Amino acid sequence: MMPMPVKHDENERGAVLLTTLLLLAVIAAITVAIVDDIRFSIRRTASVQSAEQLSWYQRGAESFGSAWLESQITDTQTELSQFINAGEPVIFPIDQGMLAFELQDGGNCYNVNVLAVTKNKNIALKKFASFLNLLEIDSLDAHSIGASIQDWVDADGIPTSGGAEGMSYANLKPAYHAANTLMVDISELREVQGIDEITYQNLLPFVCARPTLKQSRVNLNTLTLEQAPLLAITLGGRDGVLAAQTIIEQRPLEGYASVNVVWKMDVIQDLDLKGEGKEMLRTTTDLVKLIIRTQLDTQTRTRLVFYKLSDSTGVKLVSRRPI
């Protein structure tokens, strides 16, 4: 007897077709997800490799900078001063990127930590306020800013008139305390009461936080015209502005041979300083700020490195940090 043909329900066929299509859709979705994950893993691996390569480039740049600075420890530092005065970064091309060096004189700044002196605190505050006046900050704000910085860096908890000690910060949200010790980095200024972002950015090119109660000696051979207030405050304040600008503008290409050469200039003699402030001037530097910018593919890193220069110990790394 012949077998009877099996008849398939049309609904059954539709269900099978629908199931097959759903399976194909799921498989396609899984495939896309896997491919995307692979692509992400590849990009992440490449990014990690680039970051590691950037790190090695920056280490190499530090070594190169240190070796070059070692050759610049001379009596006159003529080449170093000219390099700093150029004010332009030196750029080296690398595979798929570039490496840029920029040198600045790390000593041309007003050290805010001098406000922590235990003797003659009022004199230190008055001089700093006078310096702020030269930066076009009015007298009332200059005194308030100076007093607040002094309260931040001095060891006592007694507020200076117009300043801010512990209770001033304890009432803030979130609350914190005045450091009552020397600033480690000038970025601490942003935490001091009365210094907003605009004031901080205006002060930043002129101030620093060095680990000493002594004022920085400014380098006559690397000061820019914009930094004239740093020289003017040494030459008597407001009366010394014109003299400071003249000294910088008339500086020979090879730099001044000595402080004595500058001290004999007519603009200095007219101020009748009787030698006051002369010890705060120099024609060489002992602290160099090196800015290293590294770009590789789409990644960029910038590092700030400070080097101490000494005839006896050579080049010594002081600090490094990303910026």
Helix (H, G, I), strand (E, B) or coil at 14: helix
pTM given for the model: 0.82
Would you list the DSSP string of 231-248? HHTTTTGGGGHHHHHHHH
Separation CA 230–CA 96 (nearest Å):
41
Q: Is residue 18 part of a domain?
A: no
Q: Is residue 42 part of a domain?
A: no
CA pseudo-torsion sign 264, 270, 274, 278: negative
Tell whether 173 and 197 lie within a shared domain: yes
Q: Which domain holds residue 220?
A: 216-280
**Per-residue confidence of the chain (323 residues) as pLDDT tens digits?**
555 555 555 666 667 777 777 888 888 888 887 877 777 766 666 566 777 888 888 999 999 999 999 999 888 899 999 999 998 999 999 888 899 999 999 999 999 999 999 899 999 999 999 999 999 999 999 999 999 999 999 998 888 888 888 788 888 888 898 899 999 999 999 999 999 999 999 999 999 999 999 999 999 999 999 999 999 999 999 999 999 999 999 999 999 999 999 999 999 999 989 888 999 999 999 999 999 999 988 889 999 999 999 988 899 999 999 98
What is the total count of domains within the chain? 3
Answer yes or no: are the C-beta atoms of 208 and 318 closer than 8 Å: no
Alpha-carbon separation of residue 195 from 50, 52, 58, 112, 171 (angstroms): 39, 38, 33, 14, 17
What is the CATH number for 60? 3.30.1300
Domain ends where: 214, 236, 252? 214
Q: Is residue 28 part of a domain?
A: no
Question: How many residues are listed for the chain in this entry?
Answer: 323
Tell whether 117 and 210 lie within a shared domain: yes
Q: Is residue 97 part of a domain?
A: yes
- In whole angstroms, what separates CA 123 from the centre of its chain? 29
CA atoms within 13 A on the CB side of 113: 18
Domain ends where: 214, 230, 265? 214
- In whole angstroms, what separates CA 209 from the centre of its chain? 12
| Burial of 78 (C-beta count, 10 Å sphere; 0-12/13-18/19+) | middle
User: Which residues, in sequence order, are CB contacts of 308 under 8 Å at separation 6+?
Assistant: 286, 287, 315, 316, 317, 318
Tell whether 178 and 118 lie within a shared domain: yes
Would you list the DSSP string of 47-114? HHHHHHHHHHHHHHHHHHHHHHHHTT-SSS-HHHHHHHHH---EEEEETTEEEEEEEEETTSSEEGGG
Tell whether 254 and 307 lie within a shared domain: no
- For tokens 């101030």, the residue is 207
Domain ends where: 214, 247, 270? 214
Separation CA 303–CA 323 (nearest Å):
6
Separation CA 323–CA 319 (nearest Å):
13
